[in-house]
Amino acid sequence: MNIYSWKEFTDKKPLEGVPCAITVGVFDGIHKGHMEILRQVLSKGSGVHSVVFTFRTNPALYFKGSFKGDIYTLDQKLSVLDALGTDEVVLIDFSADFVKLKGRQFFSIIRERLMLKKIAIGYDFKCGCGNDTTTADIVSMFEGTGVDVQVLPEYRYSGVPVKSTMIRTFIQVGELEILPQLMEFGYSIDISGHRNSMLRSDTTQVLPPAGSYSMQLYDRGEYRNASITAGKTAVGWEFI
């Protein structure tokens, strides 16, 4: 899997002339709803590259008050996208300049720098300055261009829409047993760079409340089963 920054993608045009199927999103946690979108891109057809445009850091962090914590770290997200067979990832830095970009401008930049064949987005997709561009706008923008725009419907579990905000809430209250039914690769804590414990302040991940849990840890590309002891300020573990 090739990984480019947004600046590399726009300035060096590494995918110029390459037929591509794309999607755009935060993809934090990569839940079952995300997978419906990603499958559309991954089943792109012979000779077409799958490209995921995502963010180096969660855009919610830019707006401070709305950020509740990551479900996956960037390393975890990239590991999952690689395991799925994604050809290319473009990492966007959500900066003061990027936040001013209108959604139609964003998609125009993409269209100018690759041979766009397919776009897969969710029914509630919004992007651009002030969320000025919706799913309907994307469909209208590419109508008659030969680009196949796939709009995926809401994904539900037991009648309830599956969203990243729901998964964060389940983690925060310690209801981890349900997560494998909502997430394609489950929930794990990234402990890369730590030995036996870490402070809650050491990670941007949303963590479960104080208590004991059996779950997976992610350490430098490897998933391992462990017994977790979560305290108010720190989390410790023993591998099983």
Instruction: Report CA 164 to chain centroid distance, whole Å.
Output: 10
> Are 208 and 105 found together in one domain?
no
pLDDT in tens, 133-155: 999 999 999 999 999 999 999 99
Please state, as a whole number, how many other Cβ atoms lie within 10 Å of the Cβ of residue 2.
12
> Are 122 and 235 found together in one domain?
no
pLDDT in tens, 48-107: 999 999 999 988 888 766 678 999 999 999 999 999 999 999 999 988 889 899 999 999
106, part of any domain: yes
> Are 34 and 102 found together in one domain?
yes
Q: How many angstroms separate the CA atoms of 141 and 122, rounded?
A: 16
E strands along the chain, which residues? 2-5, 19-24, 49-55, 88-92, 115-122, 126-127, 133-134, 148-152, 156-157, 160-161, 188-190, 197-199, 211-219, 222-230, 234-239
173, part of any domain: no
Q: At 13, is the pLDDT very low, low, confident or very high (cuts 50, 70, 90)?
A: very high
166, part of any domain: no
162, part of any domain: no
pTM above 0.75, yes or no: yes
Q: How far apart are the first and last CA of the chain?
A: 31
> Are 92 and 25 found together in one domain?
yes
179, part of any domain: no
> Are 218 and 99 found together in one domain?
no
> Are 193 and 143 found together in one domain?
no
pLDDT, position 64: 67
pLDDT, position 71: 97
pLDDT, position 232: 95
Give residue 232's domain range: 187-239
What is the CATH number for 72? 3.40.50.620
| Res. 26: pLDDT tops 90 | yes
Q: How many angstroms separate the CA atoms of 126 and 138, rounded?
A: 9
Q: Report the domain count for the chain.
A: 2
> Are 127 and 205 found together in one domain?
no
pLDDT, position 23: 98
> Are 121 and 218 found together in one domain?
no
pLDDT, position 80: 96
pLDDT in tens, 180-221: 999 999 999 999 999 999 999 999 999 999 999 999 999 989
